[in-house]
Amino acid sequence: MKLRYIIYTLIGLGIAYLVYYRISANKKIADEGAGMGKGKGGPGKGLQVNGIVVKTGDFSNDLEVTGTLEANESVELHSEVSGLVTSINFKEGSNVTKGSLLVKINDRDIQAQLQDALTKQKLSATNENRSRQLLEKGAISQEEYDTSLANLQSLKAQAQLIRAQLAKTSIFAPFSGKIGLRSISEGVYLTPAAVIANLSSINPLKISFSVPEKYIGQIKNGSEVSFTTDGYTKTFTGKVFAIEPGINTQTRTLQIKALVPNPNNELFPGSFAKIKLALTTTKDAIMIPNEAVIPVLKGKIVFISKNGKAQQVEVEAGTRTAENIVITSGLKVGDTVLTTGAMALKQDAPVKVTVVKN
């Protein structure tokens, strides 16, 4: 029984000690807070914070998006007819000019058909000439002459058709460009479904990208774009040359294409590009770091240092970048904006500011 009372007594003493310790600690914190600006001989140090001195500068409103490089012209080379490949007249990875012969398909059977058609056409032309002379003399009827003339025209059409088939056995470059790796060899039986090689025109290149519809009024033909790719550290440039006339209703974006000079063939179609598009430039803009702006219920505020104390200022903000935000009202040149300690700052709190460059 006595042991139980002893235990209860010890527990009560422990609780009383904890209450006393908590009250003492809170009083100490309150005393320190009240004496922050005072000390035994003068003003205290105040809260250590960083700050910047407000100044103006040119602000470029750049839009960063991603895009894809595309060939200016690109085509898979196919044959229109089936046949045995008799010659391949290009080297893989080489440049070819428009109209140059790339592949030749065996055409001996078509050549024979053409000779036969030309022979029949020549004979029909002789018959048509004889019939015309006889018609002029009244020896034959108009109907008989018309039959010989129709036969001649039919044979001419057949010869033209065979010539068209013969032309399909020669595959020419449709435009100047760089030809890729071939997938055929001489002697192979080529069909229209088989891909011979890819031909691409890569100087200039096209770069395709999309921008949100709210920027459509700031982008025009001739607008300059700059971009980087994973293959190079340098920045490339191009100019907008085509804008889709409508907004994509699913993504709410506008499709745009720009031309990119590629004289050294450094860039390749299909490459991923990080694009920076200059929209507008604002002169004499006030910019401060994003971390200096504190969102509140009715807008945004910042703290400035005035006579060694923090002062709360309501501001209006404009465009935001990854690091800075444009302030349209509330600050003036020369103000010292506090960039650290935002959560601990209060109105008229003493501060000691270390000014950093911005």
Helices (H), 186-311: none
Model confidence pTM above 0.75: no
Distance CA 256, CA 89 (A): 38
Task: Tell me the C-alpha distance between 79 and 125, whole Å.
Answer: 35
Structure token pair of residue 85: 């490949």
Q: 38 pLDDT exceeds 80?
A: no
* Residue indicated by tokens 């960063």: 64
Q: How many helices (H) and strands (E) does the chain have?
A: 3, 21
One-letter amino acid for residue 214 of the chain: K
Q: What is the pLDDT of residues 284-295, one digit of tens each?
A: 889 899 999 999
Give φ, ψ of 125 to 5 degrees.
-65, -40
pLDDT score of 33: 45
What token pair was written down for 211?
Answer: 């921008």
Q: Listing from the earlier edge strand, what are the strands of the sheet with 189-190?
A: 170-172, 101-105, 83-88, 189-190
pLDDT digits 0-9 by tens, 90-122: 999 999 999 999 999 999 999 999 999 999 999
d(CA 1, CA 146): 141
The domains located in the chain, with CATH, are 48-59+283-355 (2.40.420.20), 80-193 (2.40.50.100)
Query: What is the pLDDT confidence band of residue 320, given thresholds at 50, 70 and 90?
Result: confident
Q: Is the pLDDT of residue 54 over 70?
A: yes
CA-angle at 10, arms to 9 and 16, nearest 5°: 90
* pLDDT surpassing 60 at residue 136: yes
Query: For the stretch 121-137, what's the b/e string if a residue is b when 16 or more beta carbons lie within 10 angstroms of its beta carbon?
Result: beebeeebeebeeebee
pLDDT of residue 243: 93
**pLDDT per residue as tens digits for the range 194-250:** 999 999 999 999 999 999 988 888 888 988 999 999 988 899 999 999 999 999 999
Lowest-pLDDT range of 20-24, 52-56, 94-98, 139-143: 20-24
Q: How confident is the model at residue 4 (pLDDT cuts 50, 70, 90)?
A: low
Query: Which residues 6+ apart lie within 8 Å of 245 measured at CB?
Result: none
Residue 335: both structure tokens together: 């103000």
